[in-house]
Amino acid sequence: MRPFTVSMNLDNINFNGNHIVRRYEDIKSIFKSTDISLEGKNPVIYEVFESPVPEQQGHLIFLVTILYPGKVNEEFFMTKGHYHTVENTAEVYLGIKGKGLILCQTKSGDFEVAEISENRVVYIPPFWAHRAVNIFDEPLIFFGIYPAHAGHDYETIAQSGFVKRVFSKNGRVVIE
C-alpha cells in the first residue's frame, strides 16, 4: 500500500472505504423501548465513513462518525457500541462538531463517561467498550483511529448492554 490523503470536507465526506449507515429499524433493539413515532420514518441514526485500509496488524483504520440528533422516546440517539474483538487495542476519538458523551465500560464492571465536543480528544484504553451518545440538537461528528486488526465485538453488548443509558428528561441530560 502507498501513502495517500483524503479530504475532511464535511459537506461531501467520503474516505473511499466502507460507508456504514444505521437506521432506526436496524438498531432499535439497543434502545430501552421502541418508539412508534419513528417506525414509519425509519430515520438514519448514524453513519460511518471508514478509510480503505486492510484489517491487518500494523495498519491504522481512521473514520468519521456522524451521529444525528434525536431521541427514541426520551433516550438520545446513540451508536451500537462495542468491545474490540482483539481486546487489547485502544482507540482515539477527536470531536469535530456537536456535543456528546462516550460511554465506556469494562467486562469487570468499571464504567466511565467522557465528554466529546469540538477539539476534544477522547482516549479509549484497551479493554474498554465504547458507545457514543448525541446529547445535543445538531449532528455529533467525530474522527477516530484504531489498530486495523482490532475488529468489532457487538455481540457482548447486544447480550448485556451498557450499565447506563442517557435520557433527556425535562430538558436535562440524565444518565441512569
Contacts to ligand PA5 by CB under 6 A: 48, 63, 65, 79-82, 91, 130, 132, 144, 146, 152
Site string for Ni ion, 121-140 (x = CB under 5 A): --------------------
Q: Is residue 142 within the footprint of Ni ion (CB under 5 A)?
A: no
123 neighbors 144 (Cβ within 8 angstroms): no
**Which sign does the torsion angle of CA 131, 137, 142, 148 carry?**
positive
Nearer to ligand PA5, 20 or 175 (CB): 20
Nearer to ligand PA5, 38 or 150 (CB): 150
Characterize 35-74 residue by residue with b for buried, 16 or more Cβ atoms within 10 angstroms of its Cβ, and e for exposed: beebeeeeebbbbbbbbebeeeeeeebbbbbbbebbbbeb
Of the residues 91, 101, 157, 167, which one makes contact with Ni ion according to CB under 5 A: 91
How far apart CA 140 and CA 134 sit, in angstroms, is: 6
Least distance to Ni ion, CB of residue 4, Å? 22
Least distance to ligand PA5, CB of residue 172, Å? 25
Cell of 109: 464492571
Site string for Ni ion, 40-79 (x = CB under 5 A): ----------------------------------------
How far apart CA 81 and CA 131 sit, in angstroms, is: 4
Would you tell me which residues interact with Ni ion (CB under 5 A)? Answer: 91
